[in-house]
């Protein structure tokens, strides 16, 4: 249960993962819910967090981790739409799950379908509350400021995949306000190649009343408090998760960059079709209601809102992160 938090740099360097999105990209859509309902949501959210903290190391149990993720989405009034009941491709290895990154809710949406390990920034593990939760949930950490540690991080990821454990990675290295965003950084894909593990691309998107929404976006200099407040006051917010067919590394053909490009193309290819599906849908079929019913069929698309505000936001990374 973790999220990448973009940080400001003076200017994007040659190895920086960069996003044009600023806090101005994120905004409430439509009339807000009444304050009493938002306060009730906040109370329910705090209650779930307190329960997760009390779980301690038990939070790493798959059944409990899935249940807590669904409870958080329910508490916030966020619906989950997906056709998937599992995301791992099966077989003797784990699956490298790779997704576009929009919000701190992204991780919860994935864990609500299948509890997997998550690769996150190392500093998140030091945060007072979130740090305790992500460590208990079995999160893997990467230090993007220290290039010399990158081979060790890739090796740890490879070991997890070889041991049959699936891992979620956000290869963009920075959040975008919607859509497929920037190119996928290739480092994590080396682990899939080394472990001969399948790669499952995932497309995440947010909508409200069948219209793409940026209310959940967590970008630029946005604070978690401001982002949480927007989500608490947004009525009918839906997160859609589309799982694409797994990609199998092709020996002698794929290198990490080619595999990363194939995965990003799979995510990006869904944007136009999903946007048309969202626009045409009338609400019949596939609606899950509370997130705990995440396994039901969903013919809907995903939100791809992209506000026009731009700015220089970068997170310094290594050349492959």
Degrees to nearest 5, angle at CA 138 with 181 and 81? 45
What digits encode the pLDDT tens for the residues 62-117? 999 999 999 999 999 999 999 999 999 999 999 999 999 999 999 999 999 999 99
What distance in Å separates the CA atoms of residue 212 and residue 247, rounded to the nearest whole number? 28
* pLDDT tens digit sequence for 169-206: 999 877 766 766 778 999 999 999 999 999 999 999 99
| pLDDT at residue 251, rounded to an integer | 72
pLDDT digits (tens, 9 = 90+) for 2-50: 444 444 333 444 445 555 565 556 666 778 899 999 999 999 999 999 9
C-alpha torsion angle, residues 167, 111, 129, 20 (rounded to 10):
70
* Consecutive H or E run containing 280: helix 256-280
**What average pLDDT does the segment 291-305 reach?**
33
Q: What is the pTM of this model?
A: 0.80
Over 60: is that where the pLDDT of 275 sits?
A: no
DSSP state of 173: S
pLDDT of residue 79: 97
Domain boundaries, the chain: 31-300
> Is the separation of the CB atoms in 237 and 215 below 8 Å?
yes
Q: Is the distance from CB of 168 to CB of 97 less than 8 angstroms?
A: yes
Q: In degrees to the nearest 10, what's the CA dihedral of 87, 291, 78, 141? A: -40
Instruction: Look at the block and give the residue holding tokens 């940026």.
Output: 214
């Amino acid at each position: 249960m973790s999220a990448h938090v973009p940080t400001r740099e003076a200017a994007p360097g040659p190895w920086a993962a960069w996003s044009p999105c600023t806090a101005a990209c994120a905004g409430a859509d439509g009339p807000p819910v009444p304050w009493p309902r938002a306060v009730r949501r906040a109370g329910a959210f705090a209650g779930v967090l307190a329960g997760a903290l009390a779980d301690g190391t038990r939070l790493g149990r798959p059944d409990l981790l899935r249940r807590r993720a669904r409870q958080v989405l329910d508490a916030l009034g966020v619906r989950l739409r997906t056709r998937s009941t599992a995301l791992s491709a099966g077989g003797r290895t784990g699956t490298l799950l790779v997704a576009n990154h929009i919000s701190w809710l992204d991780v919860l949406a994935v864990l609500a379908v299948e509890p997997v390990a998550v690769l996150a920034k190392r500093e998140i593990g030091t945060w007072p509350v979130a740090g305790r939760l992500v460590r208990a949930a079995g999160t893997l950490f990467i230090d993007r400021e220290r290039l010399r540690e990158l081979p060790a991080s890739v090796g740890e990821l490879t070991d997890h995949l070889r041991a049959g454990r699936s891992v979620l990675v956000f290869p963009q290295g920075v959040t975008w306000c919607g859509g497929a965003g920037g190119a996928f950084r290739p480092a994590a894909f080396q682990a899939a190649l080394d472990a001969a593990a399948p790669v499952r691309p995932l497309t995440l998107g947010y909508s409200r009343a069948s219209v793409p929404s940026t209310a959940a976006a967590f970008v630029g200099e946005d604070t978690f408090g401001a982002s949480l407040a927007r989500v608490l006051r947004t009525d009918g917010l839906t997160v859609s998760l589309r799982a694409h067919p797994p990609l199998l590394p092709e020996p002698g053909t794929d290198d990490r960059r080619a595999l990363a490009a194939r995965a990003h193309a799979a995510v990006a290819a869904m944007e136009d079709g999903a946007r048309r599906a969202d626009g045409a849908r009338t609400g019949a079929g596939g609606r899950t209601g509370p997130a705990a019913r995440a396994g039901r069929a969903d013919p809907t698309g995903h939100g791809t809102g992209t506000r026009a505000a731009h700015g220089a936001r970068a997170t310094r990374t290594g050349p492959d992160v």
